[in-house]
Amino acid sequence: MTEVGGRQQQEEALLAPSEDEFHEFEDAGRTQFQIAWRKFKRHRMAMVGMFVLIFLYLVALLAPWITPYDPNSGCPRFGERKETCSPLSAEVLADSNQAPSLKHPMGTDNLGRDWLSRVMFGGRVSLAVGLGVALSAGLIGTAMGSLAGFRGGLTDNLLMRVTDIFLAMPVLLVLLIASKWLSGTTRNIVIILAFVTWMPAARIVRGSFLSIKEKEYIEAARAVGVPGFRTIWRHMLPNALGPIIVQVTLTIAAAILAESTLSFLGFGISPPTATWGNMIAVQRTTMVTQPWLSIFPGLMILISVLSVNFMGDGLRDALDPTSLKVRA
Amino acid sequence: MLYFITRRLLFAIPLLFIISVMIFTFLNLSTDIAQSLRNPRMTAEQFAKVKEAYGLDKTGPARYFSWLGNFVRGDWGTSFIYQAPVAPLIKERLKNTLMLMALPLVLSVLLAIGIGVFSAVRPYSKLDYTFTGFSFLGISVPIFWFGLLLQLFLGFYLKEWLRLSEPVFFTSGMHSPGRPEFELMDFLRHAALPSMALMVQLVAGWGRFERSSMLEVVNADYVRTARAKGLKERKVVFKHSLRNALIPLVTVVAIDIGLLFGGLIVTEQVFAWPGMGTLILSALVAGDYPLVLSAGMVIAFAVAFFNLTADVMYGILDPRIRYD
Amino acid sequence: MTKPLLSVRDLRTHFDTDEGVVKAVDGVSFEIMPTEVFAIVGESGSGKTVTALSVLNLVPKPAGKIVSGEIIFQDTNILQLPKDELQNLRGDRIVMIFQDPLTALNPVFSVGHQIAEVYRAHRGLGKKEAHRNAVELLELVGIPRPDQRAREYPHQFSGGMRQRAMIAMAVALNPDLIIADEPTTALDVTIQAQIMEVLLRMREEFDAAIMLITHDLGVVAGVADRVMVMYAGKVAEMGTCEEVYFHPRHPYTWGLMTSITRADQRKKDRLIPIRGTPPSLVNLPSGCPFHPRCDFAEKICSEDYPDLRPVSSHGQIASCHFAQRPDWTPPAELVAGRARR
């Protein structure tokens, strides 16, 4: 064992004298993950949320191969009629405005399009936007935060003022104006949403950077001659990873909601590309006559956002060291 | 304190400036407002004249700074789509938005406190789980969709089931057409559904927040001291615990109120409420930049103002905080 | 013989945690006589604070629970008292002073207000009169300019002043028993003696008994009448201050004594720390809970729990298999240190 390691453990033992925690430190990586997973598993709703989410993402991923009908034309995708069918043909229109049934579990719209197929394809976009925004916001935030935390001084001051400004903006208004300018492709919406959601991650990473910088073992590592940024980064990551994961997860929920809201207001992704938000917007007029057309896509938003939130809650408990230990 | 407030207000000026530049640039990039003034029968010459009259012949920066100069002097310009001065328009709509916000805000704060206190005093009880479940639903539901459901069930179906000629709750607008100026019952029947849509997210978010800040407090040492002193449980909870747990809630509420000025866009749009949200939305669609800019400034100012209010309240409620 | 003021019988207080049931206090019995200073000594996690909280039935719920036992205070079992009678007892007859006066005082109310609250809750005094009493108390515990200080908030007080205020709050209604949970631990060394002095002066003034909880045997010396040493939620040794100091019979007590730093410490007698860490209260070692850390452990120590047994004719008891052996004496270092005293 090296000098540094020995002292580190001594300090750690003073802080957390119990036998368990002492060992916990021994091989931090694996055990910490196992402890987190054990805590997470106890959250029943978080587990349910995780499985629902995996299911939804799988369905979205596989939509082109498993949907029975084409989402835009309403034609069957399999069987012999696949070749002969065309959009708006009498054959498709004969099935228009159907209430939910075995053949069309979510009904059909006035163009005879199978709503289940369309909801599945809409989910592709909505869920992809959610994940894309969360990951890019996490990346931007981590980059900004580590730059500010590592450089300190003027850079830090400047970047944190920028963060403050972004946090003080009327978000929805900025989103609307920005998406009016960059009209609604999926990629643009992801960029715009990431642009207003990166700040919390930046603050988390900056905070961890600063606290690591203070710590003694960084001094020790520096004395050995390892370049600064890499050292801090390597030490920072395990500490900040938990909060970042929680933040990224919760951003998925916020992004799905924001995308659907923008699309509903007509500023997001525009038809014929289906997203849950614009499907509801288009079917607003049929709310009374064919309520299922707006209820199902909305229900899907609710279910996916709810799952993400449950999962995020479980992750917070599992990964955040400050969360309560004693519970009944 | 005064120094602190002044400094914060000074910080808001560059913020407002940056936001206004952003709004103007994005709007200019996305819409050519002059086109909306064009009339097929106009000759090119006439069109040029119209553009000149509206100042649209100048370059972008020139137009921005002329707007800014006038705005600072109190002249908020003329709306293209309403063909009317911007300031009175915003004043009227702002009043309507405030009318929609006031009651739900008060009710939401009270409900959130009630839920937070109860859940923290009896954590992991059946009712606590129920509240937690509802607040997860509340923060996860898309507001526009929830609004549509309210319109369908409480607006339309309720009327059908009760076989009424007129719905109990109206689904759009803030007055029935042809009614006299303001009639309380009529107003409340219009405001009920959008208020519910608004309250769902507020109560859910604040209730959860208050629960966790109460939970942090109920195990605090000073609460134990209060119990050891022999105070009644009511005093321990509502005086010693709640007083401390309210401090963070007050700041969150203040910040959220600021955000609501911009965030009400969705609710107002669903329920066709003639407030700031619908105003700014229609102005945005048309690229009516004097209107969007001024309304945007009002909203951004509201956000900054309530952020400041949050900090000041914190200082007043927590004797440990001193601003100097 | 006088009747004990407080008698605790077979107290068991357990906590439900993620890791399992923590037996923080497990079968503890003791008595406190009127006006006596009774010290409970042990490492952190030995169950001394939970014992104190149990006396006032203040164990944090729902995780913590008093599983069994009796706590008799002046002929009434505190654990069976209805809620309002318990509230009348707390802060009036039995009071408590906590370790960290900064967190124990509510940050958003003035110090005077928090002291006055005791009068208002128990005696129904009006605001003005209660406040006047509070100011008088502050003066009594040695706070200068009490009139002005009463209006200030806890964060404006120094650590020592805060603890004085806590003591003032405690003695407001002339209590019978003052529970002081590590009252000096969070304070500067220079202040510690002052606070102990104030505490003892108040005891004189009001004829109260003190239950003094500490991890520091040094604090206890010369102050306590009797001492109870706790280890892993159980009583390790109990006796008069002299007995425990000069004739300790439990190896854990020896360890506690040799690890005290003293002013007269000589270079050559080193501090002997007790090796290892306190055991996990979820999974206690078999037999004597101290045996894994005991230098004198034998086979029987890991097999049987040593019941408390009398080790002197005056009532000293110890929980060690060998405590009754006449040759069972502390190691040389301790003897040497004691001789110099």
Compare CB distances from C87 to B232, B247, B320 and report the shortest one's residue.
Answer: B232
- With a cut of 70, say whether residue A293 has pLDDT above it: yes
Put simply, the chain C residues between 134 and 173 with a CB less than 8 A from any chain B CB are 153, 155, 166, 169
| B68-93 pLDDT, tens digit each | 888 888 888 888 888 889 999 999 99
Residue pair C40/C228 in contact (Cβ under 8 Å)? The answer is yes
Hey, what's the torsion of the CAs at A116, A118, A119, A122, to 10 degrees? 160
Residue pair A204/A240 in contact (Cβ under 8 Å)? The answer is yes
For chain A, give the longest Cα–Cα distance.
Answer: 82
Q: How far apart, in whole angstroms, are the C-alpha atoms of residue C197 and residue C202?
A: 9
Say what the pLDDT of residue A217 is: 60
Residue-averaged pLDDT of chain B: 87
Order of strands across the sheet that contains C209-214 = C94-97, C177-181, C209-214, C37-41, C226-231, C234-240, C317-318, C309-310
Alpha-carbon gap: A214 to the closest alpha carbon of chain C (Å): 25
- In this complex, which chains have at least 3 CB pairs below 8 Å with chain A? B, C
CB contact under 8 A, C108 and B230: no
Alpha helical stretches, state H, chain A: 3-15, 19-26, 28-42, 44-66, 81-84, 90-93, 115-151, 153-167, 171-181, 186-195, 199-214, 216-224, 228-265, 276-282, 292-319
Q: Helices A44-66 and A292-319, interaxial angle, to 10°?
A: 130
Average pLDDT across each block of 10 residues of chain C; the chain has 341 residues. List them in order.
Answer: 88 88 91 94 88 91 87 93 92 92 92 95 93 95 94 93 94 94 87 91 92 87 91 92 87 79 51 72 86 86 88 86 81 55 41
Alpha-carbon gap: A13 to the closest alpha carbon of chain B (Å): 26
Confidence of residue B276 (pLDDT cuts 50, 70, 90): very high
Mutate to test the interface with A, among B8, B145, B153 (most CBs of A within 10 A): B145
Q: Helices B289-317 and B86-121, interaxial angle, to 10°?
A: 40
Put simply, the chain C residues between 15 and 54 with a CB less than 8 A from any chain B CB are 53
CB contact under 8 A, A181 and B145: no
C338 vs B28, which has greater pLDDT?
A: B28
C182: nearest Cα among C192, C191, C174: C192
Chain B residues in contact with C100 (beta carbon < 8 A): 221
Confidence of residue A16 (pLDDT cuts 50, 70, 90): very low
Confidence of residue B204 (pLDDT cuts 50, 70, 90): very high
Order of strands across the sheet that contains C6-17 = C20-32, C6-17, C64-73, C76-77
Chain C residues in contact with A34 (beta carbon < 8 A): none
Q: How far apart, in whole angstroms, are the C-alpha atoms of residue B293 and residue B306?
A: 20
| Range from A11-25, A291-305, B178-192 that averages highest in pLDDT | A291-305
Chain B residues in contact with A291 (beta carbon < 8 A): 152
Say what the pLDDT of residue B6 is: 86
| A223-249 pLDDT, tens digit each | 666 556 776 777 777 777 888 999 999
Q: Give the number of beta-carbon pairs within 8 Å between A and C.
A: 28
Percent of chain B at pLDDT > 90 equals 44
Return the number of other C-beta atoms located less than 10 Å from residue C264's C-beta: 8
Whether the CB of A171 is below 8 Å from some CB of chain B: the reply is: yes
| pTM, full prediction | 0.84
Say what the pLDDT of residue B259 is: 85
Whether the CB of C292 is below 8 Å from some CB of chain A: the reply is: no
Residue-averaged pLDDT of chain A: 80
Percent of chain A at pLDDT > 70 equals 81
CB contact under 8 A, C277 and A20: no
Chain A residues in contact with C19 (beta carbon < 8 A): 20
Which residues are CB-contacts of B234 (< 8 A; sequence separation ≥ 6)?
Answer: none
Chain B residues in contact with A56 (beta carbon < 8 A): none
> What size, in residues, is chain A?
328
Least confident of A227-241, B92-106, B292-306: A227-241
What would the two tokens of residue C275 be?
């090796």
Chain A residues in contact with C279 (beta carbon < 8 A): 19
DSSP bridge pairs for B143: none
Q: Give the number of beta-carbon pairs within 8 Å between A and B.
A: 118
Query: ∠A231-A16-C58 over CA atoms, to 5°?
Result: 140
CB contact under 8 A, B225 and C58: no
CB contact under 8 A, C277 and A17: yes
For residue A17, is the peptide bond before it cis, meaning its omega torsion is within 30 degrees of 0? no
Whether the CB of A80 is below 8 Å from some CB of chain C: the reply is: no
Chain B residues in contact with A172 (beta carbon < 8 A): 262-263, 265-266
CB contact under 8 A, C98 and B235: no
End-to-end Cα separation, chain B, in angstroms = 6
| C145-168 pLDDT, tens digit each | 999 999 999 999 999 999 999 999
Chain A residues in contact with B201 (beta carbon < 8 A): none
Q: How far apart, in whole angstroms, are the C-alpha atoms of residue B189 and residue B202?
A: 21
Using DSSP's 3-state secondary structure scheme, residue B182 falls into coil
Chain A residues in contact with B307 (beta carbon < 8 A): 168
Whether the CB of C174 is below 8 Å from some CB of chain A: the reply is: no
Q: How far apart, in whole angstroms, are the C-alpha atoms of residue C183 and residue C317?
A: 27
What would the two tokens of residue C309 be?
């047994």
Whether the CB of C87 is below 8 Å from some CB of chain B: the reply is: yes
Say what the pLDDT of residue A253 is: 95
CB contact under 8 A, B230 and C105: no
DSSP single-letter state for residue C287: S
Mean pLDDT of B182-200: 91
Whether the CB of C89 is below 8 Å from some CB of chain B: the reply is: yes
Whether the CB of C58 is below 8 Å from some CB of chain B: the reply is: yes
Hey, what's the torsion of the CAs at C218, C223, C225, C226, to 10 degrees? -30
Environment class of residue C6 by beta-carbon count within 10 Å: exposed (0-12), middle (13-18) or buried (19+)?
Answer: buried
CB contact under 8 A, C278 and A17: yes
CB contact under 8 A, A326 and C15: yes
Alpha-carbon gap: C283 to the closest alpha carbon of chain A (Å): 11
Question: How much is the ipTM here?
Answer: 0.88
Say what the pLDDT of residue B61 is: 84
| A46-79 pLDDT, tens digit each | 999 999 999 999 999 998 888 888 888 778 777 6
A133: nearest Cα among A31, A270, A256, A30: A256
